[in-house]
Each structure stands twice: as structure tokens, then as C-alpha cells.
Amino acid sequence: MAPIRIRHAKGVATIQVPFENDAYTVQDLQQEIYAASQILPSRQSLKTGYPPRSLDLIPELPISSLGLKGGDQLIVGEEAHESPSRGPGTNKPAAQVQQQSKTSTPAAVSPPAVAPSASSKGPAHVSTSDGSVLVHRVVPDDNSCLFASVALIFEQNLNKASQMRQSWSLIYNPGIPKSLLLFSFKVVADGIKKDPITYNEAILGMPPSKYIDTILKPSAWGGAIELTILAAHYRTEICSIDVETGRIDQFTAGTDGGIGGMRCIVIYSGIHYDAATLAPMVDAPADWHQTVFPITSTNTSDDNILIAAKKLADFLRSQKAFTNTATFDLKCEVCGQGLKGEREARAHAEQTGHTRFGEY
């Protein structure tokens, strides 16, 4: 690590730069400068030397591309223009049948104060009232997308998605290493086992023991039941926003819900869950993102984060980034049978045990 001194309109600062680390990029340096100066990377201009010379900033290149060394001084300016805002890719996920609560009615959606761009670069995002951005965080397109979204929000680690399926059997199995027990989330299956009155056969659609066995399989889909259990486990309200309708389904945290509690956001496309998180800028590193938010109002139309989330759903809807599960065409990837909608897919899965479907 070596120091670099930066001068900007608000003062001076010294930052430590790991010149010996080839993985440290120009973008990493720009993020450090942003932290010190509050000038967005997309608007930064950098000069060094005497007379000062401008540096060509290519974010992906290593820091060595700038020809800097420890002890150098950078003059940081702010460009008057801003790089084009970023928007989503529009690739649709492969079909997976999800459970979803239908109890909420569509909420009124106000137009965004700053409309997102439909650029192919970067994730979809919308501006919030305080100048931050709510970002669409896309998770892998597999049967664990709900668990991956929750793992991203609460654990900042997508690799923990499969662990969230783990059941009480891990906890009480003496053959499981202690280190694995500490990182086993035993959330969903354990929640069902601990509350047999709520999660009975009528609610689950099958005996609880069978449901537990099913949800532990990688091919099983998660939905409303799982969101209810996860919200209670993390003592955080989970708001699921349906892209097609704008409807918000609120999975409350029980006695800890309401004003003074916390909430998070997942985005539901009809066949896929993603997360929504808050960042100071769209290209901020992952550890700068805020993933849970204070509940400031029981009225979803008055909560600033939910207002932004509805704007984000509006934008995704305008990009056709949703699937109507009642009418979409599916094909069983096991036997090749054509199916129409979620209902036929579920019936086929129950009759045959086939759980791999593709949309066409």
C-alpha cells in the first residue's frame, strides 16, 4: 500500500493504493475517490504532474495503466456531463413454476422522477428522492432464485441459497461437522416442523413431512410459504413486487413488523425472483449496497423505498421483463410434453414427478 494525495473542490484527502495488487483497477481507485470527494466515478476527471496532465480513465484496466506511484498527487475535477444511465438486459429466465400469494391488490404507481434508460449495460435502476438508486440485482436463473435473492439480501452471499433449504435433520445429525452446522440456515424446513398448526397439510397441499423432503431438493421451487417463513426467521418484512401487475405482497415479520421494523424488497417476474437494493450509484461495489430498510409507513404508497420499487417494477414491465404464468407455453424437458401455464405444469409434475420445464 502506498499513499496518494487527492485535491478536490471540498478539500484534500489521502488514500492508500495497493499498487502491488494487479487486481486493483482504475474503477477501484475511482470508488476510493468517490468516498473521499462524493464525485461520481462517471463524472470524475483526474490530472497529475506539473504542468497537470489529464489521465485516461478506463475503469476495467489495472491501476498500473495510469502510470501513478506512491506519493503522487491527483487533482480531481467534476465533469459537467454525466454518462448515460444504465438499464437492464432483457433476457428472460428459463421457466420455473413459483408459488405466489394473490392477496394484495395492485397499488397506485406514480411515474418515476428520473426515468431509467433502456441501455444494455448494467442493471435496471431508478433514482430515489434522496439521490440514491434502487438497483435490480439479478440472481442466477435456477430453482433456487428465491433463496438466492434472500441470501443476497440477508447474507450478502449467493452461495448460501442452498443452505437456506437445510432442515432440522442437519442440526440433530451428529455426523454433520460442527462447522457446517454453524452455517446451516435450517430456515424453511425447520420453520414448517416447528409450527405444524400453521403449516398443516391443507396449507401445504401435502403432508408436512413430504413438503419438507420436497423443499430440500434443488429442483423444488420456493414461493409464498417460504417467504412467510423467511420473513419470520429474519424478523424482517419481505415485500414481493409483481412486475406484471405492480402488486405488492407483504410477508410480515410477525410481532416485529410495522413502523420501527425493517423490510426488504424482492422482484417477482412471474417465474423468477430477484432482489432490489439501494446504492449511492448504479455501479457501486456490492458491499456499498443497503439491503434492508426501516419501515416508515404502513401505507405502501407513502414509503419512499416502496415508491422507488414500484417505479422499478414499472420500468421492468415496460421492457416486458415478466411472464404470465397462466398463459405461457411450457415444454417438459424430461418427456417433451407441451403444457399451458402454471396449472398444467403443476398437474404434470404431480402425475409424473417431472420438474424440469422450459418456456417456448
Q: Which three cell numbers stand for residue 149?
A: 435473492
Clarify whether residues 43 and 130 are in a common domain.
no
pLDDT of residue 266: 95
Clarify whether residues 335 and 354 are in a common domain.
yes
The neighbouring-strand residues paired with 250 are 239
DSSP 319: T
Residue 354 within a domain: yes
Clarify whether residues 348 and 316 are in a common domain.
no
Q: Which of 55, 64, 13 shows the shortest CA–CA distance to 34?
A: 13
User: Could you say which of 14, 49, 78 is where a domain stops?
Assistant: 78
The neighbouring-strand residues paired with 266 are 240, 275
pLDDT of residue 251: 92
Residue 120 within a domain: no
Q: Give the other-Cβ count within 10 Å of 113's Cβ.
A: 12
For residue 130, pLDDT over 70 is answered with yes
Clarify whether residues 218 and 299 are in a common domain.
yes
For residue 179, pLDDT over 60 is answered with no
pLDDT of residue 87: 29
pLDDT of residue 249: 93
For residue 126, pLDDT over 60 is answered with yes
Give per-residue pLDDT as tens, 24-40: 888 889 988 988 888 88
Grouping H, G, I as helix, E, B as strand and the rest as coil, residue 301 is coil
Contact (CB, 8 A) for 62 and 25: yes
CATH code (residue 12): 3.10.20.90
For residue 104, pLDDT over 60 is answered with no
Clarify whether residues 330 and 312 are in a common domain.
no
Q: Which region among 45-49, 112-116, 355-359 has the lowest average model confidence (pLDDT)?
A: 112-116
Give per-residue pLDDT as tens, 279-305: 988 888 888 889 999 998 878 888 899
Clarify whether residues 314 and 330 are in a common domain.
no
Give per-residue pLDDT as tens, 220-277: 677 888 899 889 888 999 999 999 999 999 998 775 556 778 999 999 988 788 999 9
Residue 68 within a domain: yes
Residue 147 within a domain: yes
Q: What is the largest CA-CA distance in the chain?
A: 77
Positive or negative: CA dihedral 162, 308, 95, 249: positive
Pairing label, strands 73-78, 2-8 = parallel
Integer Cα distance of 296 and 278 in angstroms: 16
Clarify whether residues 145 and 61 are in a common domain.
no
Clarify whether residues 312 and 334 are in a common domain.
no
Residue 268 within a domain: yes
User: Could you say which of 78, 106, 140 is where a domain stops?
Assistant: 78
Highest mean pLDDT among 165-179, 197-211, 238-252, 290-304: 238-252
Residue 98 within a domain: no
Active site residues: 142, 145, 272, 354
Domain coverage including residue 24: 2-78
Clarify whether residues 230 and 318 are in a common domain.
yes
Q: How many domains does the chain have?
A: 3
CATH code (residue 226): 3.90.70.80
Clarify whether residues 247 and 337 are in a common domain.
no
For residue 323, pLDDT over 50 is answered with yes
User: Could you say which of 78, 110, 144 is where a domain stops?
Assistant: 78
Question: What is the percent of the chain where pLDDT is above 70?
Answer: 73
Residue 117 within a domain: no
pTM of the model: 0.57
In one-letter notation, the amino acid at residue 295 is I
Instruction: Provide mean pLDDT across the span 109-117.
Output: 32
Question: What is the percent of the chain where pLDDT is above 90?
Answer: 15
Give per-residue pLDDT as tens, 44-103: 888 887 667 888 888 878 888 888 888 888 888 887 643 333 222 222 222 222 333 333
pLDDT of residue 115: 35
3-state SS string for 209-245: HHHHHHHCCCCCCCCHHHHHHHHHHHCCEEEEEECCC
Clarify whether residues 320 and 331 are in a common domain.
no
DSSP 192: H
Clarify whether residues 342 and 289 are in a common domain.
no
**Mean pLDDT, rounded, of the chain:** 75
pLDDT of residue 218: 63
Q: Summarize the chain as % helix, strand, coil (round to 5).
A: 30, 20, 50
Integer Cα distance of 66 and 141 in angstroms: 38
Residue 89 within a domain: no
